[in-house]
């Protein structure tokens, strides 16, 4: 049995050697007459002529490209590859083919699409003195400023967009839009400059309608302090926060504002007709964005939207105890339809 196994093993070895010999002596085996030895053909979105393909060949070589935006030129044993700018956000690819004596070799050329991202929608500074603020910006093509307010200058360096603010001597806050262009793409950021002590705090008029039909108005003096608004004639202090990203005075439902006789007064918000209201939910907000009218005076309209309902009414609700709970609800002290804060800016 051992003898038979050894004989079979020898037969396999002979067959293997014969097979290898047959491969080496195969008259049909073919070596390509062109071979790529090096390729550097990955491009950013901008136009470039820096691509290189190096090759060895036994004979004359011609080259073709599968895309019009990808161009080639033979220079000795090197093929120079150039690409047009890619004006889309999408990467693209082309195939460069080398031809020689009926043989061919291919190389894939890849080019990135345009990248353009700004890290924020707003750059706001809380000083009226000249100052600088910045945000990050990412772009693989040249950026330019399409438009801007005349009181800022814009520069780009090392992935940063720098906003230089002039001193604000206008007597009030100011906002504007900076429009950026990256080839075919645009984006905008809001820039703002204010001083909280002089441009937010101060004396305003609070005007509202006393009825849903908007037939009768009432105007109160409203003094905006650090974190409350004192309503003259009512002796109520309405808590607020200031959102500088939107330049808005923001009220919150469920906040306590003071007493009227034996009742405790809390904030509730409602729609224009006071048919839908926030009831006893704490945390809904009603904002008034500080804006300027045609004469440069400040106007801030209170409104917000929740679940498809627009809220624009402030309800000063009475409670029998100092608790914002339905069990103590005691009716409405005052309803302010479409309230607006206004302030005359000294020229």
**Per-residue pLDDT tens over the stretch 238-292:** 999 999 989 999 999 999 999 999 999 999 999 999 999 999 999 999 999 999 9
Whether 19 is covered by a domain: the verdict is no
Does one domain contain both 187 and 213?
Answer: no
CATH number at residue 92: 2.60.40.10
Does one domain contain both 215 and 166?
Answer: no
pLDDT class for 27, splitting at 50, 70, 90? Answer: low
70, 95, 111 — which closes off a domain?
111
The pLDDT value recorded for residue 346 is 76
The pLDDT value recorded for residue 140 is 85
Distance CA 204, CA 290 (A): 12
Average pLDDT of span 93-114? 95
The pLDDT value recorded for residue 22 is 44
The pLDDT value recorded for residue 141 is 82
For residues 264 and 183, which has the higher predicted lDDT (pLDDT)? 264
Per the structure, the complete domain to which residue 183 belongs is given by 116-195
Domain count, the chain: 3
Does one domain contain both 225 and 318?
Answer: yes
**Per-residue pLDDT tens over the stretch 190-233:** 999 999 999 999 999 999 999 999 999 999 999 999 999 999 98
Mean pLDDT, the chain, integer: 89
Does one domain contain both 280 and 217?
Answer: yes
For residue 299, is pLDDT > 60? yes
Does one domain contain both 104 and 165?
Answer: no
Average pLDDT of span 106-112? 96
Does one domain contain both 206 and 339?
Answer: yes
Whether 227 is covered by a domain: the verdict is yes
49, 79, 111 — which closes off a domain?
111
Does one domain contain both 165 and 122?
Answer: yes
Q: Lowest-pLDDT range, 14-28, 95-109, 165-179?
A: 14-28
Average pLDDT of span 96-123? 93
Using a 10 angstrom Cβ sphere, with 0-12 exposed, 13-18 middle and 19 or more buried, the burial of residue 10 is: exposed
Whether 17 is covered by a domain: the verdict is no
Distance CA 324, CA 264 (A): 9
Distance CA 80, CA 64 (A): 12
Whether 12 is covered by a domain: the verdict is no
Does one domain contain both 334 and 215?
Answer: yes
Distance CA 103, CA 276 (A): 78
177, 195, 213 — which closes off a domain?
195
Does one domain contain both 224 and 330?
Answer: yes
Does one domain contain both 207 and 220?
Answer: yes
For residue 298, is pLDDT > 60? yes
Distance CA 29, CA 27 (A): 6
Does one domain contain both 90 and 153?
Answer: no
Whether 219 is covered by a domain: the verdict is yes
Does one domain contain both 250 and 307?
Answer: yes
The pLDDT value recorded for residue 347 is 66
pLDDT class for 28, splitting at 50, 70, 90? Answer: low
- In angstroms, how far apart are the furthest CA atoms of the chain? 120
The torsion defined by the Cα of 243, 244, 247 and 250, in degrees rounded to 10, comes to 10
Whether 28 is covered by a domain: the verdict is no
The pLDDT value recorded for residue 25 is 59
The pLDDT value recorded for residue 163 is 97
The whole-angstrom distance between residue 61's C-alpha and the CA centroid of its chain comes to: 50
Task: For strands 228-231 and 217-224, give the pairing.
Answer: antiparallel
Whether 162 is covered by a domain: the verdict is yes
Whether 68 is covered by a domain: the verdict is yes
């Amino acid at each position: 049995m051992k003898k038979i196994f050894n004989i079979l093993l020898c037969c396999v070895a002979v067959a293997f050697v014969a097979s290898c010999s047959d491969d080496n002596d195969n008259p049909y085996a073919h070596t390509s007459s062109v071979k790529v030895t090096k390729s550097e053909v990955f491009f950013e979105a901008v136009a470039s002529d820096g691509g290189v393909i190096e090759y060895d060949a036994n004979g004359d070589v011609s080259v073709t490209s599968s895309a019009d935006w990808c161009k080639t030129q033979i220079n000795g044993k090197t093929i120079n590859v150039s690409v047009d700018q890619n004006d889309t956000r999408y990467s693209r690819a082309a195939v460069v083919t080398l031809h020689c004596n009926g043989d061919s070799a291919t190389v894939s050329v890849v080019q990135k699409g345009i990248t353009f991202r700004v890290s924020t929608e707003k750059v706001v500074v809380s000083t009226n003195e000249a100052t600088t603020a910045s945000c990050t910006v990412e772009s693989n093509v040249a950026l330019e400023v399409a438009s801007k307010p005349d009181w800022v200058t814009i520069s780009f360096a090392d992935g940063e967009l720098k906003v230089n603010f002039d001193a604000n001597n206008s007597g009030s806050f100011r906002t504007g839009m900076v429009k950026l262009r990256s080839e075919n793409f645009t984006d905008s950021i809001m820039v703002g400059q204010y001083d909280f002590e002089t441009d937010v705090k101060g004396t305003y008029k609070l005007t509202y309608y006393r009825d849903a039909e908007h037939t009768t108005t009432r105007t109160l003096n409203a003094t905006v302090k650090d974190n409350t608004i004192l309503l003259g004639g009512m002796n109520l202090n309405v808590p607020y926060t200031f959102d500088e990203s939107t330049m808005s005075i923001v009220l919150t439902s469920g906040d306590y504002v003071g007493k009227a006789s034996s009742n405790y007064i809390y904030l509730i918000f409602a729609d224009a007709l006071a048919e839908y209201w926030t009831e006893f939910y704490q945390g809904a907000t009603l904002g008034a964005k500080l804006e300027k009218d045609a004469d440069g005076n400040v106007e801030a309209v209170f409104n917000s939207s929740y679940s498809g309902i627009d809220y624009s009414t402030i309800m000063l609700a009475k409670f029998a105890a100092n608790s914002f709970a339905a069990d103590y609800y005691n009716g409405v002290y005052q309803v302010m339809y479409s309230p607006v804060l206004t302030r005359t800016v000294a020229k």
